Structure 1
Amino acid sequence: MGLMVALYASVASLLAGLVLHIGYELLFSPLRHVPGPFLARFTRLWYLRCMYSGKAEQEIITLHRKYAKQGQFFAPVVRLAPNMYSVVEADKSIYGVQTKATKSLWYESWKHPAPERWTLFPLRNIKLHAEVRRKFQGLYSMTSMISYETYVDESVDVLVSRLRKAISTAPAGVIDLANLFQCYAFDVVGMVTYGSRFGFLDSPENAKSIFSGLDSAFKYSALAGLFPSAHPYLYSIMERIPGSGAASRNMVVGFGMRQLKKKQDESSQTEKEFHKVATGEGNAAEPEDFVTKMLNLQKSDKQSINAYHISMMSLGNIFAGSDTVAITLSAIFMYLVQTPRAIRRLRAEVQDAQANLASRSREALPCAVLQNMPYLQACVKEALRLHSAVGLPLWRQSPSGGVKVGGEYFPASVDIGLNPWVAHYNADIWGPDTKEFRPERWIEAEAEGGERPKVLERNLVSWGLGSRTCIGKNIAMLEMTKLIPRLIQEFDMETAFGERNFITHNHWFVKPSNFFVRLRERV
């Protein structure tokens, strides 16, 4: 009898709490007037369903359009869940370099629950993030790109050879570029980080477990982030289940740690090479990979750079360095293939650049030249705009004292996020042709001058914002701009399989599961 009374009392307490919560959200919440799905006022289940569908970027765009008032293209703020609001503005008060807004608790599920196993991407401590980034940002600088350039060139050569071989063996010359682009991006990560390719371009079948492992890990993190307090308990259960997101994350970490150990096992030989260079016997011009650079930093600053920093940063390259590049390359070539005038203009620019260098046709262009090819850069920016790799809001937690964004005041500890897809499809910024692939808009903005170029750059948020801008952006741009000129010179291509092509799923990255093209070698 006493047990039943306790049970009834517990149920009654839960129901009373639920009624009070609903009443507060409907009648007293300072943000009760913000539009959004009715269910999203009371529970995170609506947004959970939205993310699980794999089409969150489209659903959030639809919400902003649905609730826009007359004269607006997008509603400035919409509700996705209790205490979670999507905005259309990259406001400095939450994304600026000097902001006091931290990353939200949603990012807790992007790391191992153990506090000592922190990583740079989800790090919420602003001061610690700045300190760690300051230590290693030189490894990602444009100056460092020069030392990585030969690594990228080698992987470009391997991919071109792989495509030539595939043309002769694939039915009707139809090839899935999405898969090969990810193999390419991973092999470049291997070269840049550890000094050797993973060999995925040589044997793509060996990459399947790593690729699916990353997909599963990202899906777990994106969904579990809605319930951050449950993450430590959920992770401890899920990591015991093969194929789960937590187990997949551990598998990818294990892969990265094996690569690091292999690299460190070569340290004795590396030490000999350092000695040769120091004594003038070696070749100081030989490229240095990322881990070697970090080991050198550690030698000069053992107190502030430790073994965990080296493993954490090298693993970060694996987790963040392949999908973003592969997705963007697929998007660039999809839009180029669909826009003949763009590919013609880009080929002409590449040919002019090679002629100016008196270079052999189709030879790799140096990084310094690629940076000064306006149409190439415009094509990359336009593809990043139309198909940002990241497809979920960049969540920030409003600071103590609250903050005003999009004309709305948010009290402290509210999650506010800008989805790159919302920012990039806002016709109030990009104009009525916002859905059109038109690289010329970037060149026209430069010619127009004034504030227009700054407005476009400020609203292109594919790489993140403020102090949280992707630390590997320069490496990713090097990988892409090295490959694009080579492929359009070597091959003609057209899309295959119509509507079955370029099907995407969004569980953080808006990733195409395929990108079939019909390739032909150019004479």
Structure 2
Amino acid sequence: MSSLIHNLARFLEMNRDQYLWHAISVVFYWYIAIAIHDIFFHPLARCPGPWISKFSQLPNFYHAIKGDRHIWIWQNHQIYGDKVRIQPNEVVFLAPQASRDIYGSKANVRRSKSYEAWKTVKEANTILTIDPAAHARKRRILNQAFTEKSVKHATEFVSVHTERWIDLISQEKDITTDDGWTRTRNMSDWNDWLVFDILGDICFGRSFDIKEPGPNPIRVMPRLVIKHVQMFYPILQSPFMKFFVWAKPKGLDYLLKLVTPQEVKNYYKFIGDSCKSEQDSRLDMFHFLCNARDPVTNEPYTESALRGEAAMLIVAGSDSTSSVLAGFWFYISRNERAYRRLTDEIRTTFTASEEIKSGPKLASCVYLYACIDESLRMVPAGPSELAREVLAGGATINGEHFPPGVVVGCAPWAMGRNELIFGDSTKFRPERYIPSETTGISVEDVSRIKSYYNPFLIGPGNCAGKNIAMAEIAIVIAKTLFRVDLRAVPGEDLGAGHPSMGWGRRDENQYQVEDAYITVHEGPMLQFKKRMV
């Protein structure tokens, strides 16, 4: 006892510098102990991966800041195989069975903690709800807004906006060459403007009108959404993620609102006004959301939940469609054979642009949908993994058991470039989705690649708006290629790979994107010329 008292007295007599040194020592040895545990005793200790990632999140954080995290994950799969430990507590997979085990309806997982950091309203929307039971309840209600009836009405708005968009990108006053080609268009911008206007009309019965000429404060919204996720994404892939989630309801959310740009506030005001306004007889998506009820409890959306779902519809819907369209324009403008086959199919199937709408005739355009599937593979809406946390009882993934608390996932960018599944995985080859004796592709071959790669996910977390998204993409492409010719601008390579960009990004025929949870993209630069029908 006297020895203990003596040591305590010595501790109390230390000066400030000595206290600081002891504190630093404690923290240092604490992290050394954690590192030793993570390297040798963690449940993922035997998983292959970069050595530093066994005990540190810094490589993951670094590549999230750079925007090339999807490339880094792909590189690690090339080095270490189907299973890679990319963080001390996270492993990503490439094997076909792994995706079904993680995202399937029977998977014993939930969304990871990082999803909570994206919340902007009091009640999380369906995508950001991590509790499986709460997510299932929200999804039951949300599904009622994506029925066959709602899809049919939505595509009518898509057609109107697409026709106007084509008028704008091919207008005569912008013709700059003697043979009728327009001035250069950055298709990432033009895609964003079109899709935002479509979604505003589909969801709320009011277009943002950002594709129209003239000043419009909402026109910067697509870019601000990108800046928003680019700012938050590295935080969620950093050692500070848990602190960030903890701090948001304790004052951080208030500070973030103070620095929110006015354009973003205008956007949320637009959504709020739509939520409060009386709904007329027009059957837009918001009409279906307002009238949706939980089939089990008969409860509708609360106002807070309605705001959250409304914001989610715009952001999730615009990013996925715009990125896939950007990838499609890039690849189709650089593949003459595919371009000719697709334009021939569209222009022989339809005799007028007004005929192009959802239905059997559009569905008969086999090569069109093969091009869309190939674009979804080459340019996924989210290039890196949608992280899932293993729940109590553990989970068996690709034949291996993983304990509760481990984070798992599959990265679409890496999956879409799996040479064991796709062979020439870096080539834009829509024919891989079409059974044919000429090409030697069987029905089984097509089924195998489609069961492996699911751009809209599977199971309870699959995309509720898949049918609308596919119809929207098909109508935009078909109407555009029916009415106009297009070409890549000679000498312009915005969005293309380059030898200086490093491993995985050197190919000039590959469309390159940045990873910020969503897919951030630029280009391609195209010109248009009206068809003489």
Q: Are residues 1:379 and 2:375 paired? A: no
**Range with bigger deviation, 319-328 or 3-12:** 3-12
Alignment counterpart, residue 49 of structure 2, candidates 24, 33, 36: 36
- With over 3 angstroms needed to count, the CA separation of the structure-2 counterparts of 1:48 and 1:337, relative to structure 1, is same
Shift of 1:110: 1.6
Provide the residue aligned with 1:276 in structure 2.
Answer: none
Provide the residue aligned with 1:175 in structure 2.
Answer: 185
Provide the residue aligned with 1:96 in structure 2.
Answer: 104
Q: Are residues 1:149 and 2:129 paired? A: no
- With over 3 angstroms needed to count, the CA separation of the structure-2 counterparts of 1:263 and 1:93, relative to structure 1, is closer
Contact 1:57 1:391 in 2 (8 A): yes
Shift of 1:509: 2.2
Which residue identity is paired with 1:420?
P
Provide the residue aligned with 1:435 in structure 2.
Answer: 426
Provide the residue aligned with 1:255 in structure 2.
Answer: 267
Provide the residue aligned with 2:5 in structure 1.
Answer: none
Shift of 1:405: 2.4
Provide the residue aligned with 1:281 in structure 2.
Answer: none
Provide the residue aligned with 2:464 in structure 1.
Answer: 471
Contact 2:188 2:323 in 1 (8 A): yes
Alignment counterpart, residue 209 of structure 1, candidates 198, 203, 220: 220
Partner Cα distance (1:295, 1:23) in 2? 53
Provide the residue aligned with 1:422 in structure 2.
Answer: 414
Shift of 1:519: 1.8
Shift of 1:168: 1.6
Q: Are residues 1:454 and 2:447 paired? A: yes
Shift of 1:100: 1.8
Shift of 1:104: 1.0
Where in structure 2 are the equivalents of 1:294-373 lying within 5 Å?
294-297=289-292, 303-354=299-350, 360-368=351-359, 369-373=361-365
Partner Cα distance (2:356, 2:367) in 1? 15
Alignment counterpart, residue 224 of structure 1, candidates 226, 235, 246: 235
Shift of 1:237: 4.2
Q: Deviations over 1:286-319 (max 9, x none)?
A: x511122233346999744332332222111112
Partner Cα distance (2:270, 2:299) in 1? 25
Partner Cα distance (2:172, 2:454) in 1? 35
Shift of 1:40: 1.2
Which residue identity is paired with 2:124?
W
Partner Cα distance (1:310, 1:32) in 2? 43
Q: Compute the TM-score of the two structures, normalised by the length of structure 2.
A: 0.84
Provide the residue aligned with 1:283 in structure 2.
Answer: none
Which residue identity is paired with 1:382?
E
Which residue identity is paired with 2:71?
Q
Alignment counterpart, residue 127 of structure 2, candidates 121, 127, 149: 121
* Identical aligned residues as a percent: 21
Question: What SS class does the counterpart of residue 23 from structure 2 fall into?
Answer: helix
Partner Cα distance (1:166, 1:117) in 2? 48
Shift of 1:398: 1.7
Shift of 1:10: 1.9
Contact 1:291 1:310 in 2 (8 A): no
Question: What SS class does the counterpart of residue 471 from structure 1 fall into?
Answer: coil
Shift of 1:192: 0.4
Which residue identity is paired with 1:39?
I
- With over 3 angstroms needed to count, the CA separation of the structure-2 counterparts of 1:214 and 1:23, relative to structure 1, is same
Contact 1:427 1:434 in 2 (8 A): yes
Question: What SS class does the counterpart of residue 498 from structure 1 fall into?
Answer: coil
Which residue identity is paired with 1:504?
V
Question: What SS class does the counterpart of residue 130 from structure 1 fall into?
Answer: helix
Partner Cα distance (1:102, 1:190) in 2? 31
- With over 3 angstroms needed to count, the CA separation of the structure-2 counterparts of 1:155 and 1:128, relative to structure 1, is same
**Range with bigger deviation, 162-171 or 144-153:** 162-171
Contact 1:176 1:517 in 2 (8 A): yes
Partner Cα distance (1:142, 1:19) in 2? 57
Question: What SS class does the counterpart of residue 517 from structure 1 fall into?
Answer: strand
RMSD: 2.8
Contact 1:158 1:201 in 2 (8 A): no
Provide the residue aligned with 2:58 in structure 1.
Answer: 45
Question: What SS class does the counterpart of residue 24 from structure 1 fall into?
Answer: helix
Q: Are residues 1:516 and 2:525 paired? A: yes
Q: Deviations over 1:18-66 (max 9, x none)?
A: 2212222333234223222222122111101011111111111111112
- With over 3 angstroms needed to count, the CA separation of the structure-2 counterparts of 1:228 and 1:254, relative to structure 1, is farther
Question: What SS class does the counterpart of residue 45 from structure 2 fall into?
Answer: coil
Shift of 1:348: 2.1
Which residue identity is paired with 2:448?
V
Ranges in structure 2 where 5+ consecutive residues have no aligned partner: 1-13, 497-511
Contact 1:108 1:225 in 2 (8 A): no
Which residue identity is paired with 2:26?
S
Partner Cα distance (2:34, 2:436) in 1? 49
Which residue identity is paired with 2:225?
L
Provide the residue aligned with 1:55 in structure 2.
Answer: 68
Where in structure 2 are the equivalents of 1:275-294 lying within 5 Å?
287-294=282-289
Shift of 1:467: 1.1
Partner Cα distance (1:445, 1:55) in 2? 37
Q: Deviations over 1:324-357 (max 9, x none)?
A: 1111111111111111111211122213322xxx
- With over 3 angstroms needed to count, the CA separation of the structure-2 counterparts of 1:243 and 1:324, relative to structure 1, is farther
Q: Are residues 1:185 and 2:195 paired? A: yes
Provide the residue aligned with 1:165 in structure 2.
Answer: 171
Alignment counterpart, residue 495 of structure 1, candidates 462, 465, 488: 488
Q: Deviations over 1:235-266 (max 9, x none)?
A: 5447636896xx36x96475144244157435
Provide the residue aligned with 1:135 in structure 2.
Answer: 141
Contact 1:183 1:204 in 2 (8 A): no
- With over 3 angstroms needed to count, the CA separation of the structure-2 counterparts of 1:463 and 1:252, relative to structure 1, is farther
Q: Compute the TM-score of the two structures, normalised by the length of structure 1.
A: 0.86
Provide the residue aligned with 1:14 in structure 2.
Answer: 27
Partner Cα distance (2:392, 2:49) in 1? 25
Shift of 1:170: 6.5
Which residue identity is paired with 1:93?
D
Which residue identity is paired with 1:367?
S
Contact 2:93 2:409 in 1 (8 A): yes
- With over 3 angstroms needed to count, the CA separation of the structure-2 counterparts of 1:29 and 1:240, relative to structure 1, is closer
Shift of 1:406: 3.8
Which residue identity is paired with 1:400?
A
Shift of 1:167: 6.3
Partner Cα distance (1:243, 1:176) in 2? 33
**Range with bigger deviation, 187-196 or 217-226:** 217-226
- With over 3 angstroms needed to count, the CA separation of the structure-2 counterparts of 1:455 and 1:445, relative to structure 1, is farther
- With over 3 angstroms needed to count, the CA separation of the structure-2 counterparts of 1:330 and 1:19, relative to structure 1, is same
How many residues are treated as equivalent by the alignment? Answer: 488
Question: What SS class does the counterpart of residue 434 from structure 2 fall into?
Answer: helix
Shift of 1:445: 7.5
